[in-house]
Amino acid sequence: MEIRCPRTCLLPLTTAAAVFFFFVPQILIQFAYASEKGYTRQPPGRIIFTKHDRSESEPQQVHISLAGSDHMRVTWVTEDHKAHSIVEYGTAPGQYTTMIRGNHTSYTYFFYSSGKIHHVKIGPLEPATTYYYRCGGSGPEFSFKMPPSTFPIEFAVVGDLGQTEWTNSTLKHVESKDYDVFLLPGDLSYADSQQPLWDSFGRLVEPIASRRPWMVTEGNHEIEIFPIIYPHGFKAYNARWRMPYEESGSESNLYYSFDVAGDGIHIIMLGSYTKFGSDSAQYKWLQHDLAKIDRKTTPWVIVLLHAPWYNTNTAHQGEGESMRKAMEELLCGARVDLVFAGHVHAYERFTRIYDNEADSCGPVYVTIGDGGNREGLAMSYKEPASPLSMFREASFGHGRLRVLNHTHMHWSWHRNNETNSVVADEVWLESLSASSTCMGQQPSSLKDEL
């Protein structure tokens, strides 16, 4: 059941201390956003707070994520800390032929204590097959479809999702047409330290996130640092949205990679809010990860990150610049085909770029931070328009990436109209791996690095 209410009624806290510790971080975050001058957002959408309507031992907030080529990680929360971390599953409804036991975690954040967060990695699983599953031995049955191991394959791409009426609209449009994998380049719940909003977000997205794998990376709204007490941040995000970082040789849940369509597409999730300089663990992992790709067997390489490297909106200007300077040569040298970002609450598609110039061997950059968050849209653009920017519009919506084969993919951006979803931008892209010109040339300093 959904309850609509303004943000201020979300937390029925009882003590002055609790109010202080919950709202001071929020006030600090709001102050930081208020200081971003130069653009005006549309009025924010109303937050939808989604209540828990199952028993304490039954699963809630169920979502799945890819965990290796033939495994899926099932994650859910129970209020009952004695509930078992088991998943039963099979290929027919109600007939569970396999049972896998996993592990669990929980966390505290000031006066908030999370439920028991269960993570169970199930498999091996067959591609393009529907599985029916139950979490913890009780509660409702869920089902999901494994992605295919060959082309074609389709992704839904949504950034800066939040949990507002706009979020609902976007997710409804996503679900109106089938797809295989959901990609989210950061800013999920917009809980911003109000931990019950993480639970609400998990419940809101469960009908969708329990059916198709959600592969996410972190945005600034996942940070939730509080000086001295929680200096490292990402406490809720890492506990709740565990991604396959170990499977990809990463030491951090904040950056990882995975393959889909067999090994036809390599997708890299980078962290805009963890260290990325040339001496950082993320940079070295990225070097190693890119060097392992064989473009003869993996024709497509796609990167997701949060703060865009290219952006002609007046919002968040320059925030991705230091990361771009650190890592752009690596991505371009590896002939990454496409880079998705979020953060800016609008849609923008660029041409192929390297180092601020059109370059037929560089990635196409797309900003897709328009999922439906509570902050509204970033309405103001720099003028005159840069010739590098092919299409830009401040509307809520989502993207769909359909990879047809080894050489061609189709990208489309679907604007949320009142009740319909309308294709407002689309383009065919050809894999850089099919270009003998691009594969024969690399930026000079990169050959030594890869």
Q: Catalytic site residues?
A: 316
Examine residue 187 and tell whether it contacts Fe ion (CB under 5 A). yes
Residue with Cβ nearer Fe ion (41 or 266): 41
Smallest separation (angstroms) from Fe ion to the CB of 218: 10
Write the single-letter amino acid at 231.
Answer: P
Residues 149, 146: Cα–Cα separation, whole Å: 9
Examine residue 299 and tell whether it contacts Fe ion (CB under 5 A). no
Examine residue 104 and tell whether it contacts Fe ion (CB under 5 A). no
Smallest separation (angstroms) from Fe ion to the CB of 30: 14
Structure tokens at 225: 């640092």
Examine residue 313 and tell whether it contacts Fe ion (CB under 5 A). no
Residue with Cβ nearer Fe ion (112 or 273): 273
**How many chain residues are in contact with Fe ion, going by CB under 5 A?**
4
Residue of minimal CB distance from Fe ion?
A: 343
Place of tokens 């003028």: 383
Examine residue 343 and tell whether it contacts Fe ion (CB under 5 A). yes
Smallest separation (angstroms) from Fe ion to the CB of 39: 14
Contacts for 115 with CB less than 8 Å, ≥ 6 apart: 60, 77, 78, 79, 80, 81, 106, 199
Residue with Cβ nearer Fe ion (211 or 324): 324
Residue with Cβ nearer Fe ion (120 or 183): 183
Smallest separation (angstroms) from Fe ion to the CB of 153: 27
Examine residue 189 and tell whether it contacts Fe ion (CB under 5 A). no
Smallest separation (angstroms) from Fe ion to the CB of 340: 13
**8 A C-beta contact, residue 258 and residue 182:** no
Examine residue 220 and tell whether it contacts Fe ion (CB under 5 A). yes
Quick check: helix, strand or coil at residue 351? strand
Instruction: For helices 196-209 and 165-175, give the axis angle rounded to 10 degrees.
Output: 20
CA angle 228, 231, 233 (to 5 degrees): 145
Return the range that interacts with Fe ion (CB under 5 A); candidates 72-80, 265-273, 342-350, 404-412. Answer: 342-350
Return the range that interacts with Fe ion (CB under 5 A); candidates 43-51, 182-190, 285-293, 370-378. Answer: 182-190
Where would I find the beta strands (DSSP E) of 55-145? Answer: 60-66, 72-78, 86-90, 98-101, 103-105, 108-109, 112-113, 116-122, 130-135, 142-145
Return the range that interacts with Fe ion (CB under 5 A); candidates 16-24, 179-187, 264-272, 333-341. Answer: 179-187
Structure tokens at 121: 């990695």
Where would I find the beta strands (DSSP E) of 246-395? Answer: 256-260, 265-269, 300-304, 338-341, 347-354, 357-358, 364-368, 389-393
Examine residue 271 and tell whether it contacts Fe ion (CB under 5 A). no
Figure out which of the listed residues 25, 115, 185, 219 binds Fe ion, where binding follows CB under 5 A: 219
Return the range that interacts with Fe ion (CB under 5 A); candidates 117-125, 185-193, 245-253, 296-304. Answer: 185-193
Smallest separation (angstroms) from Fe ion to the CB of 188: 10
CA 152 to each of CA 57, 143, 266, 300, 411: distance values in angstroms, whole numbers, following the listed order: 40, 22, 14, 12, 13
Residue with Cβ nearer Fe ion (20 or 33): 33
State phi, psi for 62 to the nearest 5 degrees: -70, 130
Residue with Cβ nearer Fe ion (88 or 160): 160
Contacts for 155 with CB less than 8 Å, ≥ 6 apart: 179, 180, 181, 182, 183, 400, 401, 402, 403
Instruction: For helices 321-333 and 281-291, give the axis angle rounded to 10 degrees.
Output: 20
Smallest separation (angstroms) from Fe ion to the CB of 367: 11
Residues that bind Fe ion (CB under 5 A): 187, 219-220, 343
